[in-house]
Each structure stands twice: as C-alpha cells, then as structure tokens.
C-alpha cells in the first residue's frame, strides 16, 4: 500500500522557566525549517509562514473543545499501551509571531504541571503536526505535550498507514485523501487551471463565431434598410409628383370653369395661374359672374363702361390693380 500524501512529524522547543510559568509556548518555527536529526526525508523542508499558519490556527479555533497538552504524548500512545492520559494543560488558540513562528497562547496549566516546569522536571514542549509530503506545507497541529525526549522515540509507527488511520479516527484531522482534501495539491490546481483555460478558449471561440454571424446579419440588415429607404424615397416622390399633377389639373379646371361662367375675366388668367389651389379656390368661391360691359351690339360702337361694382372693386383690390387698369382690361377683352 502506498504512503498517503499527508505525513506526521514532531519538533520540540525548550520551555523558558524563570520563576513563573509562561502562558504561551513555542510550537513551530518559521519555515522553511528542518530538524537537527535530518528530517524531513520526503521533501526539502517543512514550510510555515503567516498565510499557512493562519489556516492551521483557524482549524484549531473551529474545534469546539480545548486542545490538550499531555505528558510525553500519552494521548497518542494510549491506544497501544493502555495507560491513562493525564492533562498538563489546555489551550484553545494559537498565534503567529513574525520572525519566530507559531505559538500556543492562553495556556491554562494544571497546578502539577506548573510545579514540574518550575522544578525543571519537564524542560521541553513538543508539537506533533501533519504536513504535505510533496511540499512540506504544515497542515495541522494534532498533539502537544510536555516531554524530556524531543526526538519522541516510539512515535515512528504513527507514520505508517495503520498509525495514520488510528490518528484520523482518534482526532478531528484534515482529510488525508489527497483526492478529496479541501486543500488541493499544486498538480491538482495546475490541472484545474488547464481545464479552465481550455473551457475559456472554447467559450471564446464560440463567442467569436457568434460575433461574426451577428456582423454578417447586421450587414444584411443594413443593406435591406438602405434598399427600403431608396424605395420609400422613390414612392414618396411618385406620390408628390402625382399630388402636384392633380393640383395643377384642378387649378386648370377651376380657371377654365371660371372663364366659362364669367366669374373671372380672361385678363386675370395669368394671375390665377400663379395662385395656389387654396387661394384660387377661396377667390372663386367669393366671386360671382362679372357684369357685361355696355357697348352697341348692332353697330359695334362702344359708348363706355359703367362704374365698377362693389364686387369688381373687391376683385381689382385682390389683383392689386387700380379701377382704371381693371376697366381697361375689361374693355380690351370685351371687344
């Protein structure tokens, strides 16, 4: 059976006791770091920085119970030796110290443990931690103990599959299966990025094709719009020309009718042709037949014309001519 991607290791730091027992304890140094005995063997070094430590600290804070500090890691040995686990202290938080590393803080020591530390019966505090064997990244602190054997002889068996399975069952630990771990390995992240990249390229190609299709459709619609605009302009011109022709014909018909029934003298025809259809219609609607000028029908001798009637004066005024000019025009076309 192959070894899991997550492995276990331990380190110890001396407790500085000078009359008082500290309420914090140094657990792990700033990474990269190695043990004096040459560990780790499966990676270049263990890795721990502020970002990695923040994850380790959060895992501790997420646990409901306080974390135990025992003697000689008996909590790890009890399943095999059957001896009781005696508490030396408890803590529920850790802190990162720049330039120093990871500390247990707010440690609540038992009275017995305080006395033993003061009397130097115990000089070291040891942390056992999980780490990724491929990168050396620290994952979780799983055991803290007072000890006088920093090398922690007898814990080597915890690094095999059976030991790891026992720890996973006994403690609330990160998922040891690299395929389901919440913290992906670098190669997994790279594979995920490659998949995302491929999906992005596929989406980009689809969007490009859709854009080109839309551009073609837009060009066709633009051509169709221009064609319809041209046809509409031609149709509007036809309608305008037809209306103009109809208006001209109607004016001609009105003038012919007015000349025929005597509402307009022939001398007014050039003037009438220059008027709009509306103005000419209004003029003819208010005009009656002109009176016949006095002349001798038998011998062709003209004795003169009568004075302008009120209606003739109104016509002369609309035409902008004097009464004399109006009478002269009447005489000319009456002969």
Reported as a single tens digit per residue, the pLDDT across 17-33 is: 666 788 999 999 998 98
Compute the average pLDDT of residues 181-187. Answer: 57
Torsion of CA 117, 119, 120, 121, to 10 degrees: -90
Check if the beta carbon of residue 265 is closer than 8 Å to that of residue 333: yes
Mapped onto helix, strand or coil, the DSSP state of residue 69 is: strand
Of 155-159, 163-167, 304-308, 310-314, least confident by mean pLDDT is 155-159
Q: What was the pLDDT predicted at 103?
A: 94
Q: Which residues contact 325 (CB under 8 A, 6 or more apart)?
A: 316
Of 77-86, 105-114, 155-164, least confident by mean pLDDT is 155-164
Q: What was the pLDDT predicted at 208?
A: 92
The pLDDT confidence band at residue 95, using thresholds 50, 70 and 90, is: very high
- Chain centroid to CA 278: how far? 63
What span, in angstroms and rounded, lies between the C-alpha atoms of 132 and 158? 15
Count Cβ atoms within 10 A of the Cβ of residue 47 and give its class: 0-12 exposed, 13-18 middle, 19 or more buried. middle
Q: What was the pLDDT predicted at 116?
A: 92
Q: What was the pLDDT predicted at 75?
A: 87
Q: What was the pLDDT predicted at 290?
A: 62
What span, in angstroms and rounded, lies between the C-alpha atoms of 281 and 261? 15
What span, in angstroms and rounded, lies between the C-alpha atoms of 100 and 13? 12
Share of the chain above pLDDT 70, in %: 78
Q: What is the average pLDDT value for the chain, to the nearest integer?
A: 80
Compute the average pLDDT of residues 180-194. Answer: 64
**Pair of tokens at residue 228:** 């319809």
pTM: 0.49
4, containing H or E segment: none
């Amino acid at each position: 059976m192959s070894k899991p991607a997550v492995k276990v290791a331990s380190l110890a730091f001396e407790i500085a006791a000078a009359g008082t027992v500290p309420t914090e304890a140094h657990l792990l140094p700033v990474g990269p770091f190695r043990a004096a005995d040459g560990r780790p063997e499966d990676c270049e070094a263990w890795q721990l920085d502020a970002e990695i430590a923040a994850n380790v600290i959060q895992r501790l804070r997420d646990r409901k119970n306080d974390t135990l500090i025992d003697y000689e890691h008996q909590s790890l040995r009890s399943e095999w030796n059957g001896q009781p686990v005696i508490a030396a202290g408890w803590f529920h938080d850790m802190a990162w110290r720049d330039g120093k590393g990871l500390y247990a803080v707010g440690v609540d020591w038992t009275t017995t443990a305080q006395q033993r530390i003061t009397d130097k019966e115990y000089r070291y505090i040891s942390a056992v931690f999980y780490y990724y064997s491929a990168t050396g990244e620290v994952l979780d602190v799983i055991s803290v103990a007072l000890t006088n054997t920093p090398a922690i002889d007898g814990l080597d068996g915890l690094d095999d599959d059976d030991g790891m399975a026992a720890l996973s069952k006994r403690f609330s630990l990160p998922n040891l299966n690299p395929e389901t771990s919440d913290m992906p390995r670098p190669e997994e992240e790279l594979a995920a990025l490659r998949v995302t990249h491929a999906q992005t390229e596929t989406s980009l190609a689809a969007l490009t094709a859709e854009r080109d299709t839309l551009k073609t459709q837009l060009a066709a619609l633009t051509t169709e719009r221009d064609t319809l605009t041209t046809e509409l302009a031609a149709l509007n011109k036809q309608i305008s020309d037809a209306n103009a022709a109809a208006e001209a014909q109607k004016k001609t018909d009105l003038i012919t009718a007015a000349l025929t029934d005597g509402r307009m003298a022939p001398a007014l025809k050039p003037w009438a042709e220059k008027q709009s259809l509306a103005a000419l219609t209004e003029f003819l609607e208010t005009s009656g037949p002109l009176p016949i000028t006095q002349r001798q029908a038998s011998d062709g001798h003209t004795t003169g014309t009568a004075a302008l009637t009120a209606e003739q004066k109104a016509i002369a005024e609309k035409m902008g001519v004097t009464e004399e000019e109006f009478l002269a025009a009447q005489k000319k076309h009456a002969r």
